[in-house]
Amino acid sequence: MQHKRKRRWVGMLFLAAILSGSSPQWLHVNKSESIASGSPANGHLEKGWLTPYRGKNFRYFSPISYWLMGSGYTHSKVHRTLKESYAVCERTCPGAVFRLMECSRKKGGKMLIHYTHRNGLSVDFMVPKTRKGRQTRRYDHIGVWHYLLEFDPEGRLSFDAATSIDFESMARHLLALDDAARANGLRIRKVIFKLNLKDDLFKTPSGRQLQRRNIYFARQLPKRVDDVHDDHYHVDFEIR
């Protein structure tokens, strides 16, 4: 009996800790325009907007990152850009479901594992994947562990070569992001994607369009940065 009561108390304390940790997100309301200061690598965010946890064709990738760590905030202009780009993808990538990865914290500043993401203008996007010619989401549910997935230079998943990056859908999403950014007073400042995967992206029909638009993709990266940008693409926006 004693044990049972103890377990119940521990369970309740655990639940209370989770609820209090996530309460800023539960209680958050997006209002008035955000203010970004400094750069993605050394900046802050005021009045950050929380991205929706899910939409019709997109999801945030991790409840821990979103609710507990509060890493799903962006600048209000980026917020609108994300939503509009996914609305366009409903038409250009029918049936596809995309995943947003880490954004910024409510007030920006330093974040675990990221060098940037500090002023609400950086967003990570999970690579969409295919298997036997169809979209697969079997590895989309692993939360923060997705950052550890590795892909070979052809875009095949290291331990499951039948699963590979859907470069065409990724390019269509980036085109939609570019259009939506311009419509919201932003522009894409830089995309970081593993250097040896860029040729596969630019080979696709939509990838060729991306190249024609002259969107800047990082051309040189320190190895430690290059190595971790195969499972996701990082986008820095800039206010025009």
Task: State which residue, 173 or 234, has the beta carbon closest to Zn ion.
Answer: 234
Site track 53-82 with Zn ion (rule: CB under 5 A), x = hit: ------------------------------
Task: State which residue, 124 or 178, has the beta carbon closest to Zn ion.
Answer: 124
Contact 178, 168 (CB under 8 A): no
Task: State which residue, 90 or 226, has the beta carbon closest to Zn ion.
Answer: 226
- Least distance in angstroms from the C-beta of 187 to Zn ion: 18
Could you give the CA distance from residue 148 to residue 75 in angstroms, rounded to a whole number?
A: 27
What Å distances lie between residue 162 and 2, 66, 202, CA to CA?
52, 30, 21
Termini Cα distance of the chain: 65
Task: State which residue, 105 or 234, has the beta carbon closest to Zn ion.
Answer: 234
Listed ranges 66-74, 84-92, 117-125, 197-205: which one lies at the site for Zn ion (CB under 5 A): 117-125
Could you give the CA distance from residue 109 to residue 79 in angstroms, rounded to a whole number?
A: 18
For residue 94 the two structure tokens come to: 């029918």
Task: Name the H helices within 28-137.
Answer: 63, 76-92
Residue 182 CB: number of other CB atoms within 10 A? 13
230 near Zn ion (CB under 5 A): no
Listed ranges 5-13, 17-25, 79-87, 231-239: which one lies at the site for Zn ion (CB under 5 A): 231-239
Could you give the CA distance from residue 180 to residue 43 in angstroms, rounded to a whole number?
A: 24
CB closest to Zn ion, residue no: 234
Listed ranges 11-19, 118-126, 128-136, 169-177: which one lies at the site for Zn ion (CB under 5 A): 118-126
- Least distance in angstroms from the C-beta of 229 to Zn ion: 8
Listed ranges 31-39, 120-128, 183-191, 196-204: which one lies at the site for Zn ion (CB under 5 A): 120-128
Could you give the CA distance from residue 184 to residue 173 in angstroms, rounded to a whole number?
A: 16
Strand partners, 134: 131
When binding is defined by CB under 5 A, the residue of 45, 76, 124, 237 that contacts Zn ion is 124
For the four alpha carbons of 201, 206, 212 and 218, in that order, the dihedral sign comes to: negative
When binding is defined by CB under 5 A, the residue of 172, 231, 234, 237 that contacts Zn ion is 234
Residues that bind Zn ion (CB under 5 A): 124, 234
